[in-house]
Structure 1
């Protein structure tokens, strides 16, 4: 369900932090450097490592666009870097020259927060590169920071155990004693829990060996409410890092006990415990929109992990896709499949009609309407489309699918192949989504796309159809 796909061992000292953009992975270390890797192949970029700090680098983070990388250090500086060429854009000197432990961009890229060992918080204006506002916590060093996804406020965590909520005028909106022995990290889920009062989930970790999931809501511009939803226990030593997946369903954490634990956020169930690091796990981060996460350690290594594609959320737990042949699926397997494809409302109907795998493959638009009494034409069409995809999937297991028929983004058999400006072919929907998410670079080469237009690859589509028709039993209808 989770596999280690890459280990990066280029740092010469402890890894303190790692961060993703849509194109890069950044890591920083006690060795005073920041390293940048391409997500296309995890090769280090030609202008990496970035050098400019005179002491240990504690944190690094990307601006939302990914064009700027910020890093902060014991030297009291927060440095802004151009991620396209590695050049230094600015050096922001902390007013008191105290070691800077944490930095974070606001969602609109207007501000950058930096927190220091003396408890001071600086809100920098990224355009003017000047201090916008400043404040401080009562006790302890600032070691954690996270902006709410709506950008209306941010949270800092201190070594004395407090979580403090601030607005962009540096007014303290809320303060909570969260972890008895000190906060180590905090991270917001990007998914809204409730839109009515702008409610979000936030995870925090601490020296008390636990992770807490909080509900953070703002009913009005100055009203903040922080409630502990649940406590996640799975580590036997202080938890140094925690992070939410982009869909908000999963939390990953790293600890002094040398383990990485993956939790299902809604239930607190432990999905995996990973033991590949040999020293304290100091950092963890999820990639945006793709099933990757990274963990860094005092063993000087960064491990990159991938969730295998046949996983999905069923409403109570993360399940693996049934690995038996579809004709042998039980009614429960069919229910899992329905949930995977957003058809949870049909589960009871299918159960009442005893739809197993064999029955599922025989469904038609008439049987869905007349026998199962599904009135919605849209739902019937969605069921049939997904059944057709199942049939294609069955064919792909009969014989290894030629690599050129697989989309480089989804790794699945293409139905509507298109040619992009980089000369490679992709599934149309996948490439459109890639571009919509402001990724103007090639998924294969990571170089800028000279144009964003997509051209249907009819020759490749015909070749895929011929291959499908040549397969043995259960040949699906050729792609229209």
Structure 2
């Protein structure tokens, strides 16, 4: 599924459980040549841009935050959580001075961005940190956890300034500050939106007299994502009820309620462009839709651009890579902007099985001398494999850690099935908790799941 969407002034980035990020130019919504970005070992949970848009940040179950160049797609830095706990959310300060990440073990890590060094490290016991955001002044940040608590922190010393208990029953899902604020004498007043599993979107006043301002309840299922418009006049939320709600953030009335068109699935992410009246909507159906906000009250919205979906890939992409012909491979190269390699592949009779086995050494043997071109080719191949490894496969056939089709499924002590290599690597990496429940694993004993392995084998044969 699409886990997060983020806008810069000129780009749209999306992250996914397939371990990649995709980056689009908002001028025509074409995917950039270096996209998709592959560098995380596990699914990517969150992504965000620096305020100027020159850097893209992403965090993952692999316990790292990767800093990417928005111009080249190259990795600028990789910051690792001190305990290597899976990271669920990340945020960057408005002036890009600090980078924040929340982890499954309840910790919050704060890095100095210029030096890439860890500044502070704080614990929120017994709950996963799944939401965080900086205040517009950059001197405070808020975290939300799976126990439903919101906490306000001071950036300088990472002192806890205020804790609001049980703000959302069954847990917070997302939080977002409005960029506008009020100054009344010596008091500064900020507005914060939070949403959660209780199907509520709440607006808070963050000041010396903190408190709940308003509760919005137009959606009928858990609200997974929320964001303010750049001018602070609207607040948008996406829900498990397969809808997006747009509210007047001043008068707290519903402007627009948009049920998504088929194929409709849970809305997992919403983001608003800082320069255009656009909303990006990510969903569990692996798509991202971009909509234009309109001024008419109760309008259903105007569809702006195409849906980036696997269903729109050309016909040959519906085949497994190993079944591609030489012509399919050449067509794919053209679609990925690698036309200069068509003659090389044609001269070497490269079909799907050969493309599937291609690596750094064999790519060099083909005579691809440019390191940049070779790197782009290999990244595209890895992204293609990642897409096809879970293509239309039942969710129970995918490893919960890697989101890839399992080859040797085993049952861990938490009762869930994983790819053997993945869960063994997880435990070796000092993660002694369940990837699914975050509770301690009682034993490292793994039991082969032979019935699941046979089911996967039958499904693969049917494909």
- What TM bracket, shorter-length normalisation? 0.5 to 0.7
The one of 283, 286, 289 aligned to 1:297: 283
Kindly indicate whether the alpha-carbon contact (under 8 Å) linking 1:184 and 1:240 is maintained by their aligned counterparts in 2: yes
> In structure 2, what is the equivalent of residue 172 of structure 1?
160
The one of 178, 183, 189 aligned to 1:199: 189
Q: 2-side partners of 1:289 and 1:268: how far apart?
A: 24
- When structure 1 is superposed on structure 2, of 248-257 and 273-282 the one drifting more is 273-282
> In structure 2, what is the equivalent of residue 235 of structure 1?
219
Q: Is 2:32 the counterpart of 1:45?
A: yes
Deviations 1:25-75 (A, max 9, x none): 110000100011111111111110100011100000011111111100001
> In structure 2, what is the equivalent of residue 437 of structure 1?
none
> In structure 1, what is the equivalent of residue 366 of structure 2?
none
Q: TM-score, normalised by structure 2?
A: 0.62
Structure 2 matches for 1:156-171, cutoff 5 A?
Answer: 156-168=143-155, 169-171=157-159
Q: 1-side partners of 2:76 and 2:274: how far apart?
A: 25
Q: 2-side partners of 1:95 and 1:137: how far apart?
A: 15
> In structure 2, what is the equivalent of residue 474 of structure 1?
none
CA-CA distance at 1:319 after TM superposition = 9.1
Number of residue pairs matched by the alignment: 294
Q: Give the secondary structure class of the aligned counterpart of 1:198.
A: strand
Superposition RMSD in Å: 1.4
Q: 2-side partners of 1:52 and 1:289: how far apart?
A: 29
Structure 2 matches for 1:57-206, cutoff 5 A?
Answer: 57-168=44-155, 169-177=157-165, 178-196=167-185, 197-206=187-196
Q: 1-side partners of 2:298 and 2:105: how far apart?
A: 45
Q: 2-side partners of 1:172 and 1:85: how far apart?
A: 38
Q: 2-side partners of 1:195 and 1:108: how far apart?
A: 24
Structure 2 matches for 1:269-418, cutoff 5 A?
Answer: 269-276=253-260, 278-308=264-294, 311=295
Q: 2-side partners of 1:304 and 1:136: how far apart?
A: 37
CA 1:147–1:225: 2 relative to 1, 3 Å: farther
Q: Is 2:195 the counterpart of 1:209?
A: no
Q: 1-side partners of 2:260 and 2:234: how far apart?
A: 20
Q: Give the secondary structure class of the aligned counterpart of 2:292.
A: strand
Kindly indicate whether the alpha-carbon contact (under 8 Å) linking 1:166 and 1:174 is maintained by their aligned counterparts in 2: yes
Q: TM-score, normalised by structure 1?
A: 0.60
Q: 2-side partners of 1:110 and 1:123: how far apart?
A: 10
Q: 2-side partners of 1:94 and 1:152: how far apart?
A: 22
Q: 2-side partners of 1:297 and 1:52: how far apart?
A: 22
Q: 2-side partners of 1:226 and 1:187: how far apart?
A: 16
Q: 2-side partners of 1:174 and 1:64: how far apart?
A: 27
